[in-house]
Amino acid sequence: MKKLIIANWKMNPGTLIKAKKLFNRVDKIKTKNKIVICPPFVYISKFKRAKPSQAYQNSKLQLGAQDCFWTEEGPYTGEISPSMLKDLRVAYVIIGHSERRALSETEEIIEKKLRAALKTGLTPILCVGEKKGENAKRVINNQLKKDLKGISKKDLKKVIIAYEPVWAIGTGNFCSANKANKVREFIKEKLDNKILYGGSVNSKIAKDYLKIGFDGLLIGNASLDAEEFRKIAKNA
C-alpha cells in the first residue's frame, strides 16, 4: 500500500534560494509513495504547479501547509485562509501541531480550523500527542473528542491523524514503533482513519513504523536533508 510521507519544513530553510534547491531535489525522488511538502507559507506560491493538471517531476508530489485560519477572509492580521491555500493548489494542511499548541492554540481553535479546512476541500492532518510524563491515551482521547466535535460523519473520514508524542519532536528521542503502535491501535478503535507517526523519524527507523501499521510519517528535521528524506521516502 502507498504510504504518505509528509515533510514539515517548519520555519526552514531561511532563504528562498535554499528552499528551491531543497524542493527540486525532493521533486526528483522516485518512489511509489506519496510525498507532501509543507513549506513555510511564503514559499508556497513559488512551488505551485502552473496548471492543476501539470505534474511535478515526481507526479506523486503534492503541496501542504503548516497551518490555516478558520475563516476565508476578514480582519485577521497575519493569518492565511484555507481558500488562499486552495487557490495555490495546496492539498493538505497540518492542524494542531504541538509547536502551535505551545503558542496557545486551543482545542476550540483547532476544531474551527479543521472545519474550515474541510469545508474548503483541503485534507487536514490533525496532530495529537502527549507531553513528557502525561498519559498518552488520556491526552489523545481528550484532544480527539474536542478537536473533532463539530465534524460531520462524512468529513470525519477525510481527517488524517498524526500521532506525535511531544517529547519525541525534534529531540532525537523517538518513540519506539511498538510503543507508538499501542497508541495507533487505541486511535484506530475510535476512528477508522489514516494514522501517521511523527517525532524524530530518520531513515534508519522510518520503516519500522510503516511495517507495524502506520499509514505514513510526518517528518520534521530529516525532511530538510534531501538525501536523508530521499532514503525515507524511497524505502518506506
3-class DSSP state of 147: helix
Among 38, 180, 219, 226, binds ligand PGA (CB under 6 A): 219
Question: Alpha carbon of 199 to those of 128, 180, 184, 202: distances in Å?
Answer: 11, 10, 14, 9
CB of 150 to ligand PGA, least distance (A): 25
Catalytic: 73? Answer: no
- Name the grid cell of 87: 487557490
Pairing of strands 90-95, 123-128: parallel
Among 147, 164, 215, 228, binds ligand PGA (CB under 6 A): 164
Q: Is 92 exposed, middle or buried (0-12, 13-18, 19+ CB in 10 A)?
A: buried
CB of 50 to ligand PGA, least distance (A): 29
The answer to whether 66 contacts ligand PGA (rule: CB under 6 A) is: no
Partnered with residue 62 across adjacent β-strands are 36
Strands (E), 102-181: 123-128, 160-163
What are the phi and psi torsion angles at 148 (to 5°)? -105, 10
The answer to whether 126 contacts ligand PGA (rule: CB under 6 A) is: no
Q: Per CB under 6 A, which region of 66-74, 153-161, 195-203, 226-234 contacts ligand PGA?
A: 195-203
The answer to whether 7 contacts ligand PGA (rule: CB under 6 A) is: no
Catalytic: 164? Answer: yes
Q: Give the total of residues touching ligand PGA (CB under 6 A).
A: 13
Q: Per CB under 6 A, which region of 75-83, 180-188, 189-197, 218-226 contacts ligand PGA?
A: 218-226
Annotated active-site residue in 73, 97, 108, 111 = 97
The answer to whether 233 contacts ligand PGA (rule: CB under 6 A) is: no
CB of 8 to ligand PGA, least distance (A): 4
Among 3, 4, 7, 8, binds ligand PGA (CB under 6 A): 8
3-class DSSP state of 116: helix
3-class DSSP state of 167: helix
Annotated active-site residue in 99, 111, 130, 164 = 164
Contact by Cβ (8 Å): 29, 56 = no
- Name the grid cell of 101: 499548541
Q: Per CB under 6 A, which region of 16-24, 35-43, 108-116, 193-201 contacts ligand PGA?
A: 193-201
Q: Which amino acid is at 154?
A: K
CB of 164 to ligand PGA, least distance (A): 6
Pairing of strands 216-219, 160-163: unpaired
Task: Write out the residues near ligand PGA by the rule CB under 6 A.
Answer: 8, 164, 169-170, 198-201, 218-222
Residues marked as catalytic: 97, 164
